[in-house]
Structure 1
Amino acid sequence: MPSDVFIAINSDALYTMSKVYIGRALLRKGSSDLDEYQLWASLALELLGKAALAHKHPSLVVDPTHSPSMFVAAGINVTTDVKTITAKTLFERLAHLVPRFDKTIQKFCLEISERRNAELHSADIPFRAMRLDAWEARYWHACDTILLHMGSSLEQWLGAADAKAPRHLLDEAAKALDAAVKLRVEAAKEQFEALKKVERDRLMAEAELREPQHLAGLFKGSYDEIWKECCPACKCRAFMTGEQTGEDINEEWDEDAIWEIVDREFVGEEFHCPTCDLTLMGSDEINAAGVSYIHKDQQEREMEYEPDYGND
């Protein structure tokens, strides 16, 4: 990674500026200016996200169609007019970089950035229409997810004294989510167990015949993989889908071919049980239900080589 990148895409500089902006946000909240509170908070979130990408590599935050910016990302400072990616691209990339930054968080982050753009570039007043309890806890959750991936925390980002309120909100939101998911699982379990035994047995037998490749229509989103899970409510075969976050490739040789052994890792985004209709959205709900949102598998594939030309 280049050590001498322009300050506009330097991870430490972006992180520091995000701290400045969240400080301004909390000052506005303290004076009951909730419109500006959300405005500064949305800017802080975007800068924090860019800091996380730049921490991995500064090329992840520059506009790939602007070649001078790509040079700067490589440590060659040919311009001070560095162009960076849009908020939409930022949150899409964070979803690939940060395992717990799932579709639910991504959607929330995009919505707050769109409200900010409408606030700044039109006569609309979208922030005024948003109640504090409709966005604040989810905001701290999104920031906390990014910060934990960076090895930081809300307390470090805000300063220990200022972090109590958002940490309290985050803890309360997490408790509420945990309780709601457990009740959802328990309700699905009770409904299934209320069926006659012969009906339960029939449904469980049908569930065992279902295979992942036939069930893409179960899910709202389009993901990299679908895999089998045991439903925490009815114990039937259920399914989860999510994005691939990494793979490790090793080669094995035999007399006829070279094989790649690919260990893959996925993060679950959606869980659905066709038998009892239990649905879980996002890694937090999946985790709260007692189901692992991390999935690993192994594939074998034969390496293919193009024929050599001009060597005969």
Structure 2
Amino acid sequence: MDWAFEALYNKAKLYARRAHDEPMNSALMGFWMSLSLEILARAALAHVHPALLADPREPDNTHYAFGIIPKGVPKSIQAKAVFARCSVFIKDFTDKMSAHCLIMADRRNSELHSGAAAFENIDNSSWLPATYEVVEVLLRHVSRNFKDFLTADHAKFVENILKDRRDNLKREVQEKVAKAKKFYLNAPDDWKTEKAEAFAAKLDLYVKSSKLRRKWQCPSCDMTAAMAGEAIGRSPARIDPDEVTITREVRVLPNSFQCPYCRLSLNGFQEMKEAGLGAVYTVEEEEDPIEFFGIVPEEHVDVDKIVENYYRDEYDNE
């Protein structure tokens, strides 16, 4: 099967090695890596099950994923859907990574389908480290590593780049936390007292505006701040017949932290992780029973009768 994990993985590996045979700042380096990135993402989904690659608009596509040869050519999902599904099924694959993959895919499409030289004159520092981060997550998901995916020499090169990137990020986050702590410690006590009530009210509004947000202690000033994240999975629905409610547990990957007191601002999962705030948390989500069960109210209620009774009551009350 063309959607089998091993076939896709080996093709992604071939393109990645072609990329690394090119000069580091060449257009072909970027082009081959853009191809490798999408195919590796497809391999990662196939590692869960090839059905995740099937275009759901035609049943034959799903049948093919289960080994049934269709009459026509089986169609897989587009790149945008591939990366969106990776965000759901692959641990640590964030929305930010999905956005990076889409940028790479857009450049590739522009290269192939237009007169633009989409990979020319682009410094690899603007895309290569982020690409390696995505590849690392995908390889971990399929129990492989850079040594297998590239070569031993290239693997060492990649690991050094990622280490430098993490060291720099760690230093930047430490500097952010220290700067915010200094600001709060030096702020006048009367300012802290004056702003406390207003900040608390704004914090309540911010957290209540989304189920994926919560209050959390700030690592700089120890005050209550706001954390937000992206949904990475949902539990099976729990139905409570007594309360007539349907709820799910939503797993949230933190990607934002804002403290109004010391002005600490963290953006992205990696920054959150370096600040010790990267643990996945859960929130409760309530579903509408009508939508969950696919109930069509008109099939159970005589709308015309309700309208007729309404106007009759209005007339009788005059």
TM-score under structure 1 length normalisation: 0.82
Q: CA deviation at 1:191?
A: 1.5
1:98 to 1:280, Cα distance in 2 relative to 1, 3 A: farther
- Aligned partner of residue 234 in structure 1, secondary structure: coil
Between the two proteins, the alignment pairs up a number of residues equal to 295
User: Does structure 2 retain, via aligned residues, the 8 Å contact 1:99–1:267?
Assistant: no
Among 277, 283, 306, the alignment partner of 1:291 is 277
Tell me which residue corresponds to 1:276: 262
Q: CA deviation at 1:289?
A: 1.4
1:202-217 alignment runs, 5 A limit? 202-211=194-203, 214-215=206-207
Tell me which residue corresponds to 2:41: 49
Among 125, 137, 146, the alignment partner of 1:133 is 125
1:280 to 1:214, Cα distance in 2 relative to 1, 3 A: closer
Tell me which residue corresponds to 1:220: none
1:41 to 1:249, Cα distance in 2 relative to 1, 3 A: closer
Partners of 1:99 and 1:248 in 2: CA distance? 15
1:112 to 1:302, Cα distance in 2 relative to 1, 3 A: closer
Tell me which residue corresponds to 1:94: 86
1:293-308 alignment runs, 5 A limit? 293-297=279-283
Q: Which sits farther off after the overlay, 160-169 or 65-74?
A: 65-74
1:137 to 1:253, Cα distance in 2 relative to 1, 3 A: closer
- Aligned partner of residue 292 in structure 1, secondary structure: coil
CA RMSD, 1 decimal = 3.0
1:1-312 alignment runs, 5 A limit? 6-7=1-2, 9-29=3-23, 34-79=26-71, 81-211=73-203, 214-215=206-207, 225-249=212-236, 256=242, 262-297=248-283
* Identical positions, percent: 27
User: Does structure 1 retain, via aligned residues, the 8 Å contact 2:211–2:285?
Assistant: no
User: Does structure 2 retain, via aligned residues, the 8 Å contact 1:267–1:295?
Assistant: yes
Tell me which residue corresponds to 2:311: none
1:72 to 1:252, Cα distance in 2 relative to 1, 3 A: closer
User: Does structure 2 retain, via aligned residues, the 8 Å contact 1:207–1:237?
Assistant: no
Q: Which sits farther off after the overlay, 41-50 or 73-82?
A: 73-82
The higher radius of gyration belongs to 2
Q: CA deviation at 1:160?
A: 2.8
1:80 to 1:301, Cα distance in 2 relative to 1, 3 A: closer
Partners of 2:67 and 2:137 in 1: CA distance? 29
Partners of 2:208 and 2:110 in 1: CA distance? 35
Letter in 2 for 1:280: L
User: Does structure 1 retain, via aligned residues, the 8 Å contact 2:15–2:36?
Assistant: yes
Unaligned runs of 5+ residues in structure 2 are 301-318
Partners of 1:25 and 1:80 in 2: CA distance? 33
Q: CA deviation at 1:253?
A: 7.7
Partners of 1:70 and 1:276 in 2: CA distance? 52
Q: CA deviation at 1:38?
A: 0.6
User: Does structure 2 retain, via aligned residues, the 8 Å contact 1:249–1:260?
Assistant: no
- Aligned partner of residue 75 in structure 1, secondary structure: coil
- Aligned partner of residue 251 in structure 2, secondary structure: strand
- Aligned partner of residue 222 in structure 2, secondary structure: coil
Letter in 1 for 2:280: I
User: Does structure 2 retain, via aligned residues, the 8 Å contact 1:257–1:302?
Assistant: no
